Structure 1
């Protein structure tokens, strides 16, 4: 697979979006939305995995207005620094940036069959906001802490959605996930999975403090099956 950097133009500037191509050279697009650690080694590893599945993957730099190219260390100090940076992040501007990035990704000549989105942590929340605004082909949202408090947006989302949460997540109250599950129940194309043995960021293999291998493997199988149904690779 190959990788390159694209520039995405918005009203107040330009930001980078790293793009990975599958071995075939073309395929459906997937906008990969970063955690608070930025487009670092974990996001790049996920991008390579998705490209290996046949997708053209774009990972935009959400923090470009605050600290372009931010890559937080996956330790306690890096967590605190990344959380401080995320506390200054403007969700409205970020959603507009993602909409522009999705359009930019979908317009690439190598993207065929539509463009969806997949986000982790901060990216899980931002993907949800994006889906309510910009109509991606599909969405996978991993442990988006803001999602349970924005249930009113569900009616604005028209694409298939898979939500993934950990049952042992200290950052996202279980009651909020239960309310989301009730709101999602019966909505065509929407599904919610709780990995009871997963905490927050349980899929992040670069962060030993969070990674739960069994929960991560189970959730990823569900994600692969969901993407195969909702954004199939030809």
Structure 2
């Protein structure tokens, strides 16, 4: 099977977006301001030739543009699966993708893919398919499963995820990781990759089940809380965007802990990149940085999950 990497795209690349707009979108996407406030702020920008609608449309995800691997690709098989989560919401579910041709052993290393703060959207499903194209068994759990799953739009998804008990979501993710690691076609090697909120969950799983996570890759995620952060031993590969003040402010303290504990870690900051630079459905997407970060991720998993 040919390895798959993110290919450069041109999502809204003709639209030059001021940094303030990216910063405001980050506040909006994380629930710090509502949609009306976000659009009102955009209206205050004086950008030649650009309307509020044009800037807003460029920033808000258009998932139709993000598909890199078709769900009908004959090299993979995708299904929806349910798992038990007695310490979480009782039951969880998500998107399970496997290569159609497994090794002769019948098993392959597995990777848990964790979404942002708005449920299992099409971009995250596509990331799971990309991993399957690289020979991994991938599973993307949906935190919104107890409420019927991702609703089809990010605003509702964000509100739904915010309404759920954070501790129960975390327990669901632990249960998903355990379910995947022990799956019949899993080699027993488990990687985790997550984005934004999923980056936090990746850091969290590396701290609370370090004996089960063989390789962790958080993209622009905050660290686990102080009560468990000392447990992170790695291997862990951490991706940061340079223009991401909120997440980057947490890194110095996190790195001190990792150094103190002699953890196995690597960290990269991508120059001029925005929070969410790997998500190819918005103008925050940076093809150059996304491809480099993804190739580093695939190489990292190859080293530690073989």
Q: What's the TM-score bracket when you normalise by the shorter of the two chains?
A: 0.7 to 0.9
- Matched-pair contact (CA < 8 Å) for 1:35–1:120: yes
TM-score normalised by the chain length of structure 2: 0.66
Is 1:139 matched up with 2:186?
no
Q: Please tell me whether residue 69 in structure 1 is matched to residue 149 in structure 2.
A: yes
Are residue 98 (structure 1) and residue 173 (structure 2) matched? yes
Give the aligned partner of residue 138 of structure 2: 57
Equivalent-residue separation in structure 2 for 1:185 and 1:160 (angstroms):
13
> Aligned-pair distance for 1:27?
0.9
Task: Name the residue aligned to 2:101.
Answer: 24
Deviates more, 1:118-127 or 1:24-33: 24-33
1:1-234 map, 5 Å: 1-11=76-86, 12-25=89-102, 26-65=107-146, 67-73=147-153, 78=154, 80-135=155-210, 136-144=213-221, 146-147=222-223, 150=225, 153-172=228-247, 174-185=248-259, 187-206=262-281, 208-232=282-306
- Structure 1: 5+ residue stretches without partners: none
Secondary structure of 2:109's match? strand
Distance 1:87 1:212 in 2: 28
Contact 1:181 1:192 in 2 (8 A): no
Give me the whole-angstrom Cα distance separating, in 2, the residues matched to 1:46 and 1:150: 27
Q: Distance in 1 between matches of 2:216 and 2:82?
A: 23
Partner secondary structure for residue 272 of structure 2: coil
120-129 or 210-219: which moved more? 210-219
User: Would the aligned equivalents of 1:116 and 1:231 in 2 still touch at CA under 8 Å?
Assistant: yes
* 3-state DSSP of counterpart to 1:46: helix
Which consecutive residues of structure 2, in runs of 5 or more, have no partner in the other structure? 1-75
Contact 1:33 1:123 (C-alpha < 8 Å) held by counterparts = yes
C-alpha distance in 1, partners of 2:157/2:149?
Answer: 12
Say how many residue pairs are matched: 222
Change in CA separation of 1:27 and 1:71 when aligned onto 2, cut-off 3 Å: farther
Q: TM-score, normalization: structure 1?
A: 0.85
Of the structure 1 ranges 182-191 and 3-12, higher mean CA displacement relative to structure 2 is found in 182-191
Q: Is the 8 A contact 1:184 1:191 kept in 2?
A: no
Q: 1:42 & 1:183 partners in 2: Cα distance?
A: 32
**8 Å CA contact 1:32, 1:118 repeated in 2:** yes
Contact 1:151 1:180 in 2 (8 A): no
How far apart are residue 72 of structure 1 and its match?
A: 5.0
C-alpha separation between the residues in 2 aligned to 1:49 and 1:82?
23
Alpha-carbon distance between aligned partners in 2 of 1:37 and 1:72, rounded to the nearest angstrom: 10
Secondary structure at 1:108 match in 2: coil
How far apart in 1 are the matches of 2:149 and 2:115? 12
Is the contact made by 2:243 and 2:274 (CA closer than 8 Å) also made in structure 1? yes
